[in-house]
A = this chain, B = another copy of it.
Amino acid sequence: MKIIESAKNDWIKQIKKLEKKKFRDLENRYLIEGEHLVEEALNYGGDIQFVLVTEESLPSYAYILEKIEEDKKVQVTYEVIKHLSTLPSPQPIMAIVGKENKIATTRVTSHVLLLDNVQDPGNVGTMIRTADAAGFSKVVLGKGTADVYSPKVVRSMQGSQFHIKLEETELIETIAGLREEAYQIYGTELNEEAISFKDIEKSEKIAILMGNEGQGVSADLLKETDQNIFIPMKGHAESLNVAVAAGIVMFSL
């Protein structure tokens, strides 16, 4: 096993750069932190390139490490872990994984979640996790949406990137493609013709389009939807958090 003891090591400096989108895109890989995520990557066919672990925790993670090829294991100091982590008290295990991973499992539904310009990384991660739990087949991240491999999105996804297909692309094209496949596209905006989410006609091919936290779905995409839906509210709050709204709609299908 390789041993790296200093955060100033050249390779560690390279890894540290993965905090930035530019470098993640360039190298096509990103960092995951903690036992749970490394396990998820292992169990669901994630492309694990390296596992970094401290000497003290080798015994506790032996059950993970025995499934990792020798030249992919790197023993580091906790100082190195802390240097690479974006958390105040990181777990002593992390991994570098490729963005591409095969989603082997068959999904329960064909439903698709589309995210237009959702900026908060916590919201993006939470919505992917919820789409996974609801059995959706895919999440498509459009323009302006937080980068799916940023540390905060990765943290709130809790490993769902290994279960559900994720795409980053132009939503206008995705919607055109879905329409050809006979999908019903539901936008989320309260307007005169909007219907309650409870009245969505159940079907195998449903796409839900969620928008920006402040401005909602952009006008040019709303034009492309088949129907707009809203969540009837009984209280005085003017709106719901976008991730909560998405959860309510996805679990109603």
A-side interface residues toward B, CB under 8 Å?
Answer: 44, 105, 107-109, 122, 126, 129-136, 156, 158-160, 163-164, 231, 233-241, 243-248, 251
Contacts and interface: CB of A to CB of B under 8 A. Distances in A.
Contact of A130 (B105, B238, B241): B241
A135 B234 contact: yes
Contacts of A105: 236
Closest 4 pairs (CB-CB, A-B): A135-B234, A244-B247, A133-B237, A163-B236
A118 to B, nearest CB: 14
B122 A235 contact: no
- Copy number in this complex? 2
Contacts of A158: 237-239
> By CB atoms of chain B within 10 A, which of A44, A158, A238 has the most?
A238
B234 A134 contact: yes
> By CB atoms of chain B within 10 A, which of A131, A163, A235, A239 has the most?
A235
A109 B234 contact: yes
> By CB atoms of chain B within 10 A, which of A158, A238, A240, A251 has the most?
A251
Given A108-B234, A159-B237, 11 more contacts: A122-B122, A129-B237, A129-B240, A130-B237, A130-B244, A133-B235, A135-B234, A158-B237, A160-B235, A244-B247, A247-B248
A107 B251 CA distance: 26
A178 B97 CA distance: 50
A235 B156 contact: no
B235 A251 contact: no
Contacts of A248: 247-248, 251
A105 to B, nearest CB: 7
A238 B133 CA distance: 7
B134 A233 contact: yes
Given A241-B243, A248-B247, A133 B233 contact: yes
12 contacts: A107-B235, A126-B241, A129-B237, A132-B235, A133-B235, A133-B237, A160-B237, A163-B235, A164-B235, A241-B243, A245-B247, A248-B251
Nearest to A157: B237
Contacts of A237: 129-130, 132-133, 158-160, 163
Contacts of A246: 244
Nearest to A159: B237
A38 B176 CA distance: 43
